C-alpha cells in the first residue's frame, strides 16, 4: 500500500542517546543501509543554531546536511526536524529537492509561534510536517482548535506525537478519530510513539487497522528502537509486519546489519528500552525528565517516585521544571515524625559505648579477620548500613536509603533492631526506631551517603568510638560492593571519595573514628583540609 510509509528517525531521535555524535562513517553507513532496505523517509537530524560538526546529526543549514546524503537514494526521501525556538528560519535555504521534508515541533503554550515558523518553512518550498509536542496533553476542544489552524496552513502532514509514551489503545482511538474526521483528507497523518509502556508496536498495529484507506499515513520508527530512553517503535518489527500484512517489500537484512554493526555497540554503552520508572512518568503523562531527576537520587523506591510524581500539577507536566521538582523532592524527603522518645531510647542504648559500623564494601569479607578481632577485643555494638549482614549477630541495622530498605526489608534478621530515617514511608514495623532525617542532614549532599548520616547519628547518641569495616570507598574498577549486594549499582563518582573523607574528618573532631579494614577514605583524609 503506497499510502502507508515508514520514516526512520534513528539519526534524529536516536541522537538523544549519544548527543547526536554518531561519527561521519556511521551516519553514512546507516543512511546507506536504510536506503538499501527501502525506507520511505530518513530523518537525518535536527536543524539548530549550532556550529557544524561532520560527525554529528545536528546542522546549522541544509547545505551541511546534504554532504551526508547518498548519490543514488532511489525512492527514499530525506527529512530534518526543527524546534521552532531553537532554529533561525532565515538560515533555511529554499528547497532544492535534496531534503524534501521539514518537520516542525512546538509546545501547547507556543502554538502561534510554532505555526508562524511552519508557514515560513512551507514558503521555502518544503513538504511541511507539523509535529505538536505531547498531543496527549490536549483536550478534545484544544485539539480541534489546533486542527482548524493546521487546516488553514494546509501542510503536507500532521503527526500524532505521543511524546511521553502515555498513550493507550483507547486514547489512540480518541485522538485518531478527532484527526481523521477534522483534518483535511489530503493531509498525511503521522504517528510517533515511545516505549514507556512497552506498547509502541501494539499501538502501531492498531493504528494501521483503524486508519481509513484513503488517508495517507507515515509511521515513525528507529533501528532497534533507538531513542531517548526508553526508546521508540522498532523499525525492523514494523517493516516485517507491513511486509506480511500490507503487501510491502522492505528488505530487512540491511536493517539488521545496521543494528548489528552500528546500533548494538551503542546500546551496550548507553542502554535504552522499557524501564518501570519511565512507565510512571507515562502514567501521569509527564515530561520524562521528572522521572530521570528522581532516578539520579539513587535512594527512592518505586513507591516513593510514584507518590512524588503524582503530586505534579497539570500546568507543570509538559515542560520540565527542575526547581519545582527539587521543591517536591525536598518536601517529600523532609517528612517529619515525632521522634523524641525514640531518640532518648537510642541514647540510653548507645551513650558511652563503642560501635562497629558495617558497610557492604568487598573489604568487609576480605578483611573479616580484622573486624572479628576488633569485635572480640572491644565488644562493640554492631550496626550495618543499608543492608542486613549475614554474619552480624544482634545489634542494629540503619537505613536512610528508601530503595535499599525496600530491597532488604524481607531479609530482616531476628534479634537485629532497625533504625530508619523519616524519608522511608513503607515497610515500617511498630518496633522500628524512626528518626527525622533533618536531625542528621542539613543538605542534599549529606543525604546521599548513609554512612555519613550514621556517623552523625552516633555523635548525637554520645558514642565513644566508631570503628568502620567495609567502608572501602569507590574504586575505578567499579567492584564497590560485596557480591550479591546492591545489584549492579556501581557506586558514586570517584570524586565523592574526597567529599566523604572530608566529612569523616569533621566527625573525628567530635568522636573517635577508626578504620579496621582498608579504606580509600582513610587515604584521602591525608589530603583533605577542613
Average pLDDT over residues 11-35: 96
**Length of the chain in residues, anyone?**
530
Least confident of 59-63, 78-82, 381-385, 421-425: 421-425
Is the pLDDT assigned to residue 341 strictly greater than 60?
Answer: yes
* Alpha-carbon span 493 to 514, nearest angstrom: 24
pLDDT of residue 442: 62
CA angle at 132 for the pair 191 and 225, rounded to the nearest 5°: 40
Is the pLDDT assigned to residue 57 strictly greater than 80?
Answer: yes
* pLDDT tens digits along 200-231: 999 999 999 999 999 999 999 999 999 988 99
**Residue owning grid cell 501547547:** 108
List the one residue out of 187, 185, 182, 248 whose CA is nearest residue 221: 248
Average pLDDT over residues 27-54: 96
Q: Is 44 exposed, middle or buried, given 0-12, 13-18 or 19+ CB atoms closer than 10 A?
A: buried
* pLDDT tens digits along 450-483: 899 999 999 999 999 999 999 998 876 667 777 7
* Alpha-carbon span 386 to 419, nearest angstrom: 10
* Alpha-carbon span 288 to 43, nearest angstrom: 23
* Alpha-carbon span 411 to 302, nearest angstrom: 19
**Higher-confidence residue: 295 or 17?**
17
* Alpha-carbon span 205 to 220, nearest angstrom: 13
Torsion of CA 209, 238, 97, 157, to 10 degrees: 30
- Percent of the chain residues topping a pLDDT of 90: 69
Average pLDDT over residues 479-506: 70
Is the pLDDT assigned to residue 494 strictly greater than 70?
Answer: no
CB distance 299 to 447 below 8 Å = yes
C-alpha cell at 292: 530521570
In the chain, domain spans: 4-269, 280-333, 340-525
- Percent of the chain residues topping a pLDDT of 70: 95
CB distance 121 to 99 below 8 Å = no
Residue 486: Cβ within 10 Å count:
18
* pLDDT tens digits along 105-147: 999 999 999 999 999 999 999 999 999 999 999 999 999 999 9
**Higher-confidence residue: 378 or 498?**
378
Strands (E), 326-483: 354-358, 381-385, 396-399, 417-421, 433-435, 465-469
Q: Ranked by mean pLDDT, which of 119-128, 304-313, 390-399, 488-497 comes out on top?
A: 119-128
Greatest Cα-to-Cα distance within the chain, rounded to the nearest angstrom: 86
List the one residue out of 253, 200, 255, 210 whose CA is nearest residue 230: 200
Is the pLDDT assigned to residue 304 strictly greater than 90?
Answer: no
List the one residue out of 86, 155, 57, 77 whose CA is nearest residue 115: 155
Least confident of 181-190, 257-266, 352-361, 447-456: 447-456
Sequence-distant contacts of 256-261: CB under 8 A, at least 24 apart: 257/33, 258/29, 258/30, 258/33, 258/34, 258/223, 259/223, 259/224, 261/29
132 SS3 class: strand
pTM (two decimals): 0.67
Q: Is 345 exposed, middle or buried, given 0-12, 13-18 or 19+ CB atoms closer than 10 A?
A: exposed
Is the pLDDT assigned to residue 324 strictly greater than 70?
Answer: yes
Architecture of domain 4-269: Alpha-Beta Barrel (3.20)
Is the pLDDT assigned to residue 444 strictly greater than 60?
Answer: no
Is the pLDDT assigned to residue 523 strictly greater than 90?
Answer: no
Domain 340-525: homologous superfamily in CATH: Alpha-2,3-sialyltransferase (3.90.1480.10)
**Residue owning grid cell 530498605:** 405
**Residue owning grid cell 531534503:** 99
Is the pLDDT assigned to residue 412 strictly greater than 70?
Answer: yes
Q: Is 322 exposed, middle or buried, given 0-12, 13-18 or 19+ CB atoms closer than 10 A?
A: exposed
pLDDT bucket at 53, cuts 50 / 70 / 90: very high
pLDDT bucket at 489, cuts 50 / 70 / 90: very low
225 SS3 class: helix
C-alpha cell at 293: 531527576
Amino acid at each position: 500500500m503506497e499510502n502507508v510509509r515508514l520514516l526512520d528517525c534513528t539519526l534524529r531521535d536516536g541522537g538523544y542517546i549519544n548527543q547526536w555524535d554518531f561519527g561521519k562513517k556511521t551516519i553514512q553507513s546507516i543512511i546507506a543501509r536504510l536506503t538499501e532496505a527501502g525506507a520511505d523517509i530518513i530523518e537525518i537530524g535536527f536543524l539548530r543554531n549550532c556550529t557544524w560538526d561532520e560527525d554529528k546529526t545536528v546542522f546549522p543549514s541544509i547545505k551541511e546536511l546534504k554532504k551526508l546524503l547518498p548519490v543514488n537514494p532511489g525512492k527514499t526521501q530525506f527529512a530534518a526536524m526543527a524546534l521552532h525556538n531553537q532554529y533561525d528560519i532565515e538560515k533555511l535555504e529554499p528547497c532544492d529537492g535534496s531534503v524534501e521534508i521539514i518537520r516542525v515541533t512546538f509546545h501547547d503554550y507556543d502554538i502561534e509561534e510554532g505555526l508562524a515558523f511552519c508557514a515560513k518553512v512551507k514558503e521555502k518550498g518544503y513538504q511541511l510536517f507539523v509535529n505538536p509536542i505531547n498531543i496527549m496533553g490536549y483536550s478534545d476542544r484544544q485539539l480541534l482548535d489546533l486542527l482548524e489552524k493546521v487546516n488553514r496552513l494546509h501542510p503536507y502532514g500532521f503527526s500524532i506525537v505521543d511524546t511521553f509514551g502515555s498513550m493507550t489503545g483507547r486514547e489512540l482511538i480518541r485522538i485518531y478519530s478527532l484527526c481523521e474526521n477534522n483534518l483535511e483528507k489530503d493531509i498525511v497523518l503521522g504517528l510517533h510513539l515511545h516505549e514507556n509502556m512497552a506498547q509502541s508496536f501494539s499501538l502501531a498495529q492498531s493504528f494501521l487497522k483503524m486508519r481509513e484507506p484513503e488517508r495517507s499515513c507515515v509511521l515513525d520508527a528507529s533501528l532497534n528502537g533507538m531513542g531517548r530512553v526508553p526508546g521508540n517503535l522498532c523499525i525492523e518489527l514494523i517493516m516485517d509486519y507491513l511486509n506480511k500484512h500490507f503487501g510491502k517489500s522492505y528488505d530487512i537484512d540491511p536493517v539488521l546489519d545496521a543494528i548489528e554493526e552500528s546500533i548494538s555497540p551503542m546500546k551496550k554503552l548507553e542502554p535504552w528500552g522499557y524501564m518501570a520508572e519511565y512507565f510512571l512518568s507515562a502514567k501521569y503523562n509527564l515530561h520524562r525528565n521528572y522521572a530521570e531527576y528522581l532516578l539520579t537520587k539513587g535512594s527512592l523506591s518505586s513507591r516513593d517516585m510514584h507518590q512524588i510524581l503524582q503530586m505534579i500539577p497539570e500546568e507543570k507536566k509538559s515542560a520540565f521544571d527542575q526547581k519545582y521538582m527539587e521543591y517536591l523532592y525536598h518536601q517529600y524527603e523532609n517528612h517529619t515524625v515525632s521522634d523524641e522518645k525514640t531518640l532518648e531510647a537510642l541514647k540510653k542504648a548507645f551513650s558511652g559505648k563503642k560501635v562497629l559500623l558495617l558497610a557492604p564494601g568487598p573489604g568487609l569479607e576480605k578483611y573479616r579477620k580484622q573486624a572479628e578481632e576488633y569485635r572480640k577485643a572491644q565488644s562493640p555494638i554492631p550496626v550495618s548500613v543499608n543492608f542486613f549482614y549475614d554474619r552480624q549477630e544482634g545489634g542494629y541495622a540503619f537505613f536512610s536509603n528508601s530503595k535499599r530498605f525496600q530491597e532488604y526489608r524481607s531479609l530482616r534478621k531476628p534479634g537485629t533492631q532497625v533504625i530508619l530515617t523519616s524519608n522511608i514511608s513503607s515497610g515500617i514495623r511498630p518496633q522500628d526506631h524512626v528518626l527525622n532525617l533533618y536531625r542528621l542532614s542539613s543538605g542534599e549532599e549529606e543525604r546521599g551517603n548513609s554512612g555519613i548520616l550514621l556517623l552523625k547519628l552516633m555523635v548525637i547518641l554520645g558514642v565513644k568510638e566508631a570503628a568502620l569495616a567495609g567502608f572501602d570507598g569507590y574504586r575505578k574498577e567499579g567492584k564497590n560492593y560485596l557480591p550479591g549486594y546492591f545489584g549492579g549499582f556501581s557506586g558514586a563518582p570517584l570524586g565523592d571519595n574526597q567529599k566523604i573523607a572530608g566529612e569523616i574528618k569533621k566527625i573525628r573532631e567530635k568522636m573517635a573514628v577508626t578504620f579496621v579494614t582498608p579504606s580509600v577514605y582513610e587515604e584521602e583524609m591525608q589530603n583533605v583540609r577542613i
